């Protein structure tokens, strides 16, 4: 199934690229980031930089959190498989490039067993192309895509170790919605959620994310235990590749609305997920699949069907700002995820970094994503840089 196109071709300038670059950054952290399936001991980021023959530049970011060596590998995939196609012809729109890259690299993804990795590299390139085009027409992306500048945010990644301390700090920074990581044992999960509710009060918006930790039978029990604290959604309680019938069954059992999408890939999978009715919240990650070209039609479809659209992100600053522009483009109820854990690659790769005020961010009128990496500040974290 092909979703409706983002915008007509005659509204955007064609692009002929002269350079496609991949930059890998890696920064050590004092406190590892814990999830139910693994621990991050450093924070990586893979940036995509594209430049056209007129010297216009666009920035994108490829998802690369796990495994730890994945960042360098994804950069090589961009360089070897995607850059040659992007440099070979003129592109009418970023969406034209996205669909052609997806078509031409489909078999390669099957052959090498890495359709996800290839989709992630295409997604980062798509973000960069949209940033470039918006800069060329001197428009912020949120406006070019028909949206408004204000979006709501939530502080995510509250770990299972004294999450109330980090939540208090994020509340002081201006956040008003918070997501706790669960899947670390029933008693610990319940105690942590109780501590957050007691700290933040009865009106604060709370969410929980199990990172695929439970079986369907465990969800039936845990959703009842956690419902007392009124979380707005329960995210990925089971493995993302369970059947939609299984998801539908736990949705009927759970008193908490279900959320998922960061591990979905492709138009048909999102269409099926939206139509099945199991998911109240749809959460694509535009650096994992789709970029703007894929995720914006998904967002519009989700909202047309009455679902809340909340893009997922856990990475550097370029991807975060792209997620903000994606949400701003469609508006409506919902939030953009902002990782609570320290990560210099969030603020330094997206300068000027936007402030959060009473849970909201107002995106700037600057062209494109409105930000760019502070290359002088992050040069010490650069581990690999390749020009194509």
Domains detected in the chain: 9-138+380-387 (3.30.390.10), 142-374 (3.20.20.120)
Contact yes or no for 115/39 (Cβ under 8 A): no
Can you give the pLDDT at residue 29?
A: 84
Phi/psi of residue 312, nearest 5 degrees: -90, 145
Cβ contact 208:231 at 8 Å: yes
Q: pLDDT (tens digit, 9 = 90+) per residue, 213-269?
A: 999 999 999 999 999 999 999 999 999 999 999 999 999 999 999 999 999 999 999
Task: Please tell me the predicted confidence (pLDDT) of residue 35.
Answer: 76
3-state SS track over 316-361 = CHHHHHHHHHHHHHHCCCCCEEEECCCCHHHHCCCECCCCCECCEE
Coil, helix or strand for 51?
Answer: strand
Residue 6 has pLDDT above 70, yes or no: no
Mean pLDDT of the chain: 95
Alpha-carbon distance of 32 to 36, in angstroms, equals: 13
């Amino acid at each position: 199934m092909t979703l409706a196109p983002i915008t007509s071709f005659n509204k955007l300038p064609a692009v002929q690229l002269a350079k496609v670059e991949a930059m890998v950054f890696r920064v050590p952290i004092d406190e590892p980031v814990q999830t139910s399936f693994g621990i991050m001991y450093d924070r990586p980021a893979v940036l995509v930089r594209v430049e056209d023959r007129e010297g216009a530049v666009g920035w994108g970011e490829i998802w690369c959190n796990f495994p730890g060596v994945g960042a360098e590998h994804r950069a090589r995939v961009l360089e070897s498989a995607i850059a040659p196609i992007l440099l070979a012809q003129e592109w009418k729109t970023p969406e034209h490039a996205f669909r052609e890259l997806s078509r031409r690299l489909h078999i390669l993804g099957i052959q090498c067993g890495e359709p996800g990795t290839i989709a992630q590299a295409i997604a980062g390139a798509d973000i960069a192309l949209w940033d470039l085009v918006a800069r060329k027409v001197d428009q912020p992306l949120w406006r070019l895509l028909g949206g408004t500048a204000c979006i709501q945010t939530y502080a995510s990644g509250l770990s299972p170790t004294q999450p109330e301390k980090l939540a208090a700090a994020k509340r002081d920074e201006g956040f008003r919605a918070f997501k706790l990581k669960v899947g670390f044992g029933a008693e610990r999960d319940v105690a942590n959620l109780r501590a957050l509710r007691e700290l933040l009060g009865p009106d604060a918006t709370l969410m929980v994310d199990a990172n695929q930790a439970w079986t369907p039978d465990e969800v039936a029990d845990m959703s009842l235990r956690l419902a007392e604290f009124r979380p707005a959604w329960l995210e990925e309680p089971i493995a993302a590749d369970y059947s939609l019938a299984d998801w539908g069954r736990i949705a009927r059992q759970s008193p908490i609305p279900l959320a998922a999408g960061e591990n979905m890939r492709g138009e048909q999978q999102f269409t099926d997920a939206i139509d099945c009715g199991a998911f109240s919240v749809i959460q694509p990650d535009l650096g994992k699949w789709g970029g703007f070209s894929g995720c914006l039609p998904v967002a519009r479809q989700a909202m047309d069907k009455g679902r809340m659209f909340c893009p997922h992100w856990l990475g550097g600053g370029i991807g975060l700002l792209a997620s903000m522009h994606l949400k701003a483009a469609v508006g409506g109820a919902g939030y953009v995820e902002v990782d609570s854990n320290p990560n210099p690659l969030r603020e330094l790769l997206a300068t000027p970094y936007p402030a959060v005020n009473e849970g909201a961010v107002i995106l700037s009128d600057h062209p494109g994503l409105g930000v760019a990496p502070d290359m002088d500040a992050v040069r010490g974290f650069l581990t690999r840089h390749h020009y194509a």
